[in-house]
Structure 1
Amino acid sequence: MDTSTSWTMPGPGWLFCPADRPERYAKAAAAADVVILDLEDAVNPADKPAARQALIDAFNGDGAPDVETTVVRVNAATTDEFAADLACLEQLPVRRVMLAKTETRADVDALPDHDIIALIESPLGAVNAAEIAAAPNVAGFMWGSEDLTAGLGGRRSRLADGSYHPIVQQVRGNVLLAAKAHGCFALDSVFMDIGNLLALRAEADDAVAIGFDAKVAIHPKQVATIRDAYAPTDEQIDWATRLMDAAKRERGVFTFEGQMVDGPVFKQAEQILRRAN
């Protein structure tokens, strides 16, 4: 699915917000570019009915959340909660839905009227990522490390130095490849150590460098760090602007400030200017 023609991502700082805390909806929206109202892990099983009702009330009342900057995360298609989540979605104007623990194409097919962000966080989902990406209503991907590690039978997703274990990095890369191969956007996973903004910045910088379109936060204080990582520097903006101006006077491949300019370099310049705007 080519999401560039259907939805322009508002920005790179996404934020989870528990759906059973409607008093936080507006605060989350003010802090982040996109808010994910969560019916899954952020809500205790006993509170899920109240969370669904809170969503229905919010979207049908005054000051409703902006549907262009709101995503609803629903429970996995294989859970007993999924049918109730579907009934809730029928009463909401939200177009974009994050499907927890997406594992097969059939999971996505159960939501044909929504643009799906497939959350890959299990071994089965990881090996089926390319098949899932081919579904026409899959708009984007996110991946998760902790459920993945538990599904592998492991104890922790990171090494002693804080970097991801190689098998986790492999899944991260495979999800990114599946997304980009099918024209989907890709969201990098959450960073759990809320107070360690320096490590978050390093991980966000890596997400920018490798091609993730955004990174998801679990606390509002993380959003500014993510945005800063995605914001081009003045030098990058100046370079991209001058390159695009030079391209107007050239035909085909040309040399700009000692660098050969072809399709990939153009894309880099265009990406910088899009992020700058």
Structure 2
Amino acid sequence: MSGEIVWLFCPADRPERFAKAAAIADIVILDLEDGVAAADKIAARAALEGSVGLDPQRVVVRVNPVDTPEHAADLEALAATQFRRIMLAKAESPGQLQPLSGYRITALCETPAGVQQAPALAGHPSVEALMWGAEDLLAGLGGTSSRFADGRYREVARYARSRVLIAAAAAGKRAIDSVYLDIPDLDGLSAEADDARASGFASKAAIHPSQVEVIRRSYAATPEELSWAVRVVAAAEQERGVFAFEGKMVDEPVLRHARRLLDQS
């Protein structure tokens, strides 16, 4: 899972887009939930069942929440495919995951209860990742907007983002940063993806092909970062314990970061 940086949503009722999405993203999220109108959900499930040529290891299917009539139909369609990675929309408790045995689950924490239960969801053995979402969360809180006019998240959204990230890390699971809805604003996306990487999110989700390379660039180590990592790891071989390097203190967490950069390059 270390290379699964960009997760791209693709409506499951648009099978002509499946291969194109798979060609540019690390993970394709075939969406049976909000990306598909209610009248088109039957067609979306049929397209899912009829899809060919996709690597099941690189496909995650977003299914409808467990308290909707669409959920059982989604699972029935999934059973007819080779796809065994799913994203549970509006996940709120570990008990909801018990009937999903046999699937690798990304729990989407996008309601007040889901954010509150993020640590318990992360601890479930079938969960491989947590993702968070702001818009459903704000709706559940009775709010009107997750962001300020300048694009910054409001504090309640930042709290949810941080809680989900920390819950995933504490359980040794992957954390996926939420989507950036303003598609033309690639500069804003770049800044948010830079922050996601710096904060510890292993992946970021996208909703449009134009966002994929922006996210990928944010997650790529710069030549300067790699050069520093080589130098500091080499210096550590000559030192014992904490030491000063190029004017800054270096201890084991700093060295772990440097080694991670080199491992991922």
TM range (shorter): over 0.9
Q: Report what 1:3 is aligned to.
A: none
1:25 aligns with 2:14: no
Q: Does 1:71 align with 2:64?
A: no
Identical pairs, percent: 52
CA distance change for structure 1 residues 161 and 253 in 2, over 3 Å: closer, same or farther? same
Residue number in structure 2 paired with 1:143 = 132
What corresponds to 2:201 in structure 1? 212
Asked whether the equivalents of residues 10 and 69 of structure 1 are also in contact (C-alpha less than 8 Å), the reply is: no
Which residue in the other structure is 1:54 paired with? 47
The letter of the residue matching 1:91 is A
CA shift, 1:262, in A, is 2.5
Q: Does the Cα contact within 8 Å between 1:204 and 1:215 map onto a contact in 2?
A: yes
Amino acid across the alignment from 1:75? N
Matched AA of 1:243: V
Contact 1:230 1:275 in 2 (8 A): no
Q: Which runs of 4+ in 1 moved over 6 A?
A: none
- Rounded to whole Å, the distance in 2 between the matches of 1:220 and 1:184 is 26
1:124-163 mapped onto 2 (5 Å cutoff): 124-163=113-152
| Cα separation, 2, equivalents of 1:95 and 1:34 | 13
Write the distance in 1 (CA, Å) between the matches of 2:196 and 2:32. Answer: 26
Distance between the aligned counterparts of 1:9 and 1:75, measured in 2? 27
Residue 264 of structure 1 corresponds to: 253
TM-score normalised by length of structure 2: 0.95
Residue equivalent to 1:4: none
> 1:66-109 deviations in whole A, cap 9, x for unaligned?
12221111111111111111112212222321110001111122
Residue 55 of structure 1, CA deviation: 1.2
Larger deviation, residues 220-229 vs 49-58: 49-58
Asked if residue 90 in structure 1 is aligned to residue 79 in structure 2, the reply is yes
Deviation at 1:241, TM superposition (A): 2.0
Deviations 1:121-152 (A, max 9, x none): 10111111111111111110111111111000
**In structure 2, what is the equivalent of residue 236 of structure 1?**
225
Which string of whole-angstrom CA distances, capped at 9 and with x for unpartnered residues, describes residues 146-202 of structure 1?
Answer: 111100011111112211111111111101110001001111110001000011111
Q: Aligned with 1:110: secondary structure?
A: helix
Q: Distance in 1 between matches of 2:98 and 2:2?
A: 23
Calculate the TM-score normalised by the size of structure 1: 0.91
- Residues 21-72 of structure 1 show CA distances to partners (whole Å, capped at 9, x for unaligned) of 11100100112111111111111112112211211111xx4xx211222111
Which whole-Å CA distance do the structure 2 matches of 1:183 and 1:109 have between them? 20
User: Measured at CA, do residues 93 and 9 of structure 1 come closer, stay the same or move farther in structure 2, by a change above 3 Å?
Assistant: farther
- Compared with structure 1, are the counterparts of its residues 163 and 138 closer, same or farther at alpha carbon in structure 2 (3 Å cutoff)? same
**Greater mean alpha carbon deviation, residues 81-90 or residues 19-28:** 81-90
Q: Distance in 1 between matches of 2:232 and 2:252?
A: 12
Q: Deviations over 1:212-251 (max 9, x none)?
A: 1111110000111101111111010111122233344555
Residue 255 of structure 1: how far off its partner (Å): 4.1
Unaligned 5+ residue runs, structure 1? 1-7
Does the Cα contact within 8 Å between 1:97 and 1:114 map onto a contact in 2? yes
Rounded to whole Å, the distance in 1 between the matches of 2:256 and 2:40 is 46
Which of 163, 166, 181 is residue 170 of structure 2 equivalent to? 181
Query: Does the aligned pair in 2 maintain the 1:14–1:35 contact within 8 Å?
Result: yes
Aligned residue among 210, 213, 216 for 1:224 = 213
- 1:11 pairs, out of 1, 4, 12, with 4
Q: Distance in 2 between matches of 1:95 and 1:252?
A: 45
Q: Distance in 2 between matches of 1:217 and 1:148?
A: 18
RMSD between aligned alpha carbons? 1.5
One-letter code aligned to 1:92: T
Q: Determine the C-alpha separation between the residues in 2 that align with 1:43 and 1:227.
A: 26
Give the match for residue 40 of structure 1: 33
